[in-house]
Amino acid sequence: MNNIPWIFMGTFQNKDFDLLLNNVQIGIQNGVHGFDTAPSYKSEGVLGIVLKTLIEKGVVKREDLFISDKVDAWQMQENNGEMSQYVQDALHKMHLDYLDLVLVHWPLPEYLYATIRSLIELKEKGLIRNIGVCNVRIGHLKRILSNVGILPDFIQNEIHPLNNCDEVVNWCNEKNIKIMAYSPLCRMNKKLIESPILQELSIKYNKSIGQLILRWHLERSVMPVFMSHNPKRIVENTSIRDFSLDKNDIVRINAMNENYKIFLESKGCPGYEIH
């Protein structure tokens, strides 16, 4: 686990080869080596070809990349948690020998433990390097530990100032579970753009609101998984390591929390357990 990224680029709704090739290359040139996909994004194949192209061009080495994929709810149901075939298909589609991380996309109560057991076997075989779960609460993690005997290496939750996930972030940081934040900018919700706190801090630090939010994630030891089709924004979003936020400002951004989620948990995972 020594090439853990500090930031990821996501590929949700991002299937155009030329656009992705350009954006991934810009990302890599600006220090990104983590890339996130999922079967439901229909971007596994194109991301795989993009990365293969960049490896062949000598832009990046495979061992410097960190590729994160997921297993979707329908796969967990269709094969009762047995994930081997899907992971092998994904590797084939992406022209890879191994995945750095496979995340369970939704913690469907009926199939969660069988799925994780299957991922453990794949990890033992060397096909995947890390196991993760998305959209989780502390209760899920404790139940995974008691039912399967492990804690995941990573979690990936919707985290941004309007949904700071304080409890699970603190808990995972204590247990050394790596935390990824998806929709880290809350898709630049109006409430963020118009926030007087963020506007004030933007002037104070001479950074854009997007940069402030992404830096806030880093200050909390959270790895943002951002998405942008716009090369300028990719440069902007990755230029956040030359400043840090004062403690008090982190607290002020934390206080913007209003439990606002774009992706409602029960919508992605019927019967979602909140405790």
Partner 1 sequence: MKYIKKMLHLLQVITGNSSVNKRICEKNPGTFTENRRNFDVLVIGEMYDVKDLIPHNKTYLQFDAPDRTLFASFLILQGKFSWLNEGKGKCIIVCKKNNEKKKSVSMFDIPFLHTIIIHKYKLKKQQAELKFPLLCHPLQICKFIFGKKYEMSFVEKCPLPEIIDFCAQRDIEFEYRVIKN
Ligand X SMILES: NC(=O)c1ccc[n+]([C@@H]2O[C@H](COP(=O)([O-])OP(=O)(O)OC[C@H]3O[C@@H](n4cnc5c(N)ncnc54)[C@H](OP(=O)(O)O)[C@@H]3O)[C@@H](O)[C@H]2O)c1
Indicate the DSSP class of residue 62: G
CB of 262 to partner 1, least distance (A): 6
Q: Quick one: tokens of 184?
A: 């880290």
Rounded-to-integer distance, Cα 218 and Cα 227, Å: 16
CB-based contact 253:216 (threshold 8 Å) = yes
From CA 11, how far away is CA 130, in angstroms rounded?
Answer: 20
SS3 261: coil
Q: Of the two residues 51 and 186, which places its CB atom closer to ligand X in the complex?
A: 186
- Cβ atoms 200, 171 nearer than 8 A: no
52 binds, options ligand X, partner 1, none, Cβ within 5 to 8 A by partner type:
none
Task: Give the footprint of ligand X on residues 235-264 (CB under 6 A).
Answer: 236-237, 263
Q: Which stretch binds ligand X (CB under 6 A): 16-24, 168-176, 180-188, 195-203?
A: 180-188
- Here the tokens at position 109 are 């109560």
Instruction: List CB contacts of 271: < 8 A, sequence separation 6 or more.
Output: 108, 109
Q: Which of 23, 135, 163, 164 binds ligand X (CB under 6 A)?
A: 135
What is each CA distance from 244 to 36, 153, 266, in whole angstroms? 26, 27, 36
Would you say how long the chain is, in residues? 275
Residue ranges in 88-107 that form contacts with ligand X under rule CB under 6 A: 105
183, 195, 245, 253: residue in contact with ligand X (rule CB under 6 A): 183
Residue number with the shortest CB distance to ligand X?
A: 10
Among the residue ranges 10-18, 44-52, 54-62, 83-91, the one whose residues contact ligand X (CB under 6 A): 10-18
Give the total of residues touching ligand X (CB under 6 A).
Answer: 27
CB of 53 to ligand X, least distance (A): 20
Tokens describing residue 258: 């209003």
Q: How far is the CB of 114 from partner 1 (least distance, A)?
A: 15
User: Is position 193 an interface residue for partner 1 (rule: CB under 8 A)?
Assistant: no
Binding letters toward ligand X, positions 138-177, x by CB under 6 A: ------------------x---------------------
Q: Could you say which of 147, 166, 194, 270 contacts partner 1 (CB under 8 A)?
A: 270
Crossing angle for the helix pair 138-148 and 112-124, nearest 10 degrees?
A: 60
Task: Describe the crossing of helices 247-254 and 209-219 by its angle, rounded to 10 degrees.
Answer: 100
**Interaction residues for partner 1, span 56-115 (CB under 8 A):** 73-74, 77-78, 108
Tell the burial category of 43 from Cβ atoms under 10 Å away from its Cβ (0-12, 13-18, 19+): buried
How far apart CA 15 and CA 47 sit, in angstroms, is 8
For binding to ligand X (CB under 6 A), which residues are involved? 10-12, 36, 105, 134-135, 156, 182-188, 208, 210, 225-230, 233, 236-237, 263
**Which chain residues interact with partner 1 by CB under 8 A?**
73-74, 77-78, 108, 258-275
